[in-house]
A = this chain, B = another copy of it.
Amino acid sequence: MAGNTFGTALRLTTAGESHGPGYVGILDGMPPGLELSEADLQPDLDRRRPGQSRLTTQRNEPDECRILSGVFEGKTTGTPIAFLIENRDQRPRDYSEIKDKYRPGHADYTFDAKYGFRDYRGGGRSSARETSVRVAAAAVAKKLLRERWGVEIVGYVKSIGDIEGRIDDPAAVTLDQVEANPVRCPDQEAASRMAELIERMRSERDSVGGISELVATGVPPGWGEPVFDKLKADLGKALFSLPAVLGVEYGAGFGVARARGSENNDPFEMREGSVSTRSNRHGGMLGGISSGQPIVLRCAVKPTSSLPQPQDTVTRAGEPTTIATKGRHDPCLLPRFVPMGEAMIALVLADHGLRQVAVSDVLG
């Protein structure tokens, strides 16, 4: 009911607040026998953590994650895997003003409306710091996907503001290309201009939005369920469950609205003995089930709501006022969004991979 669990065959439950003792996650449903240690989690945690580059918030969190259960002698046991990420750089004083004022674009007012009161320290449960434990758990899902099915997930920044990166083939982008710059745009030239724009936003005490594109390759055909749990539906939910996402599309996306059927359909053809499609406007999913083609998704991410410049708002008591956020914030969320988006896709794909085992391996 309260919605802190995600997934069906592979289920992640999270808890924790931005300025409490830390975050906890429990990943239930991982099969036994996967080699796993904390070292598997840290690379993605480092990609997500604050303070990783000049472009991001300077909150200093190492985001070290302890595995508390579910691993024995270096392998998963089949029992639930618990993650603990302690908060280190809490500064409650930074957030004292937001106790009584509603920050525009944030969940302060809606939390009060929902619960009657809220943990106002740094956004409490609504803070994007909650995604740290998702990223940790998803690192396990990514490893399962890679070792069991050869699935790889790579996300990147496609555009920031008016600057768009040129990506000829989404399915060919590599993690190395993405990590070659702090913006995480594989078009290195565009990435430089994006970095400049982000710096300018910081100096202008403003923020800017963008689009992240995410690609999963190697997904076998047949994953996803035909009706409510279509793969596109579960991916859509997963990505919309991330903070700041206002739009999700896959394949030709909103472009289909202007297209004709005769140009939008991807003809089937044989390639290396397998049923394939000539093009990939369908984004790797037909009828909500994977087609074997690369799964390509895009998320629209809004500009950071927290701004150091004064914005009009009201107090809890209903008095008009202004607020200028004093905390440490990213002037653009996109670079750190990439590992979050990948994480949610990994959780969905691993879940559906496990679900498909129970469909295809039973009556043979």
Asked whether B287 lies within 8 Å of A106 as measured between CB atoms, the reply is yes
A222 cross-chain contacts in B, Cβ below 8 A: 110, 113-115
Answer whether residue A32 sits at the interface, using C-beta atoms and an 8 A cutoff. yes
Closest to A16 in B: B69
Asked whether B313 lies within 8 Å of A256 as measured between CB atoms, the reply is no
Answer whether residue A95 sits at the interface, using C-beta atoms and an 8 A cutoff. no
Answer whether residue A188 sits at the interface, using C-beta atoms and an 8 A cutoff. no
Asked whether A32 lies within 8 Å of B209 as measured between CB atoms, the reply is no
Q: How far is the CB of A305 from chain B (nearest CB, A)?
A: 6
Answer whether residue A96 sits at the interface, using C-beta atoms and an 8 A cutoff. no
Asked whether A241 lies within 8 Å of B288 as measured between CB atoms, the reply is yes
Per-residue interface assignment for chain A, residues 123 to 155, with 1 indicating a CB less than 8 Å from any chain B CB and 0 otherwise: 011100010000000000000100110000000
Asked whether B68 lies within 8 Å of A363 as measured between CB atoms, the reply is no
A239 cross-chain contacts in B, Cβ below 8 A: 236
Given contacts A111-B287, A289-B113, contact A313 B207 (CB under 8 A): no
Given contacts A105-B266, A253-B246, A261-B307, contact A16 B82 (CB under 8 A): yes
Stretch of A41-49, A51-59, A171-179, A353-361 at the chain-chain interface: A353-361
A39 cross-chain contacts in B, Cβ below 8 A: none
Asked whether B227 lies within 8 Å of A32 as measured between CB atoms, the reply is no
Answer whether residue A14 sits at the interface, using C-beta atoms and an 8 A cutoff. yes
Asked whether B357 lies within 8 Å of A357 as measured between CB atoms, the reply is yes
- A109 in complex: contacting residue of B119, B221, B361, CB < 8 Å: B221
State how many copies of this chain the complex holds.
Answer: 4
Residues A311-364 near B (CB distance < 8 A):
311-314, 318, 320, 354-364
Answer whether residue A199 sits at the interface, using C-beta atoms and an 8 A cutoff. no
A218 cross-chain contacts in B, Cβ below 8 A: none
Would you list 23 pairs from A and B whose C-beta atoms are within 8 A, ordered by A residue? A1-B10, A2-B78, A2-B79, A5-B13, A5-B228, A15-B69, A32-B116, A33-B115, A72-B117, A107-B226, A114-B222, A126-B287, A209-B256, A232-B246, A252-B302, A256-B303, A257-B301, A260-B303, A261-B306, A262-B311, A270-B318, A278-B312, A358-B358
Per-residue interface assignment for chain A, residues 249 to 268, with 1 indicating a CB less than 8 Å from any chain B CB and 0 otherwise: 11111111111111011111
Task: List 4 tightest A-B contacts by C-beta distance, closest first.
Answer: A107-B287, A3-B229, A3-B225, A247-B249
Answer whether residue A8 sits at the interface, using C-beta atoms and an 8 A cutoff. yes
Asked whether B261 lies within 8 Å of A241 as measured between CB atoms, the reply is no
Asked whether A359 lies within 8 Å of B32 as measured between CB atoms, the reply is yes
Asked whether A311 lies within 8 Å of B265 as measured between CB atoms, the reply is yes
Asked whether B110 lies within 8 Å of A228 as measured between CB atoms, the reply is no
Answer whether residue A4 sits at the interface, using C-beta atoms and an 8 A cutoff. yes
Answer whether residue A193 sits at the interface, using C-beta atoms and an 8 A cutoff. no
Provide the bound-state CA to CA distance between A111 and B175, in Å. Answer: 32
Answer whether residue A280 sits at the interface, using C-beta atoms and an 8 A cutoff. no
Residue from the set A11, A118, A262 with the largest chain B CB neighbour count within 10 Å: A262
Q: How far is the CB of A62 from chain B (nearest CB, A)?
A: 18
Q: How far is the CB of A227 from chain B (nearest CB, A)?
A: 5
Provide the bound-state CA to CA distance between A125 and B30, in Å. Answer: 14
Closest to A159 in B: B257
Provide the bound-state CA to CA distance between A359 and B320, in Å. Answer: 29
Provide the bound-state CA to CA distance between A39 and B292, in Å. Answer: 38
Answer whether residue A84 sits at the interface, using C-beta atoms and an 8 A cutoff. yes
Answer whether residue A9 sits at the interface, using C-beta atoms and an 8 A cutoff. yes
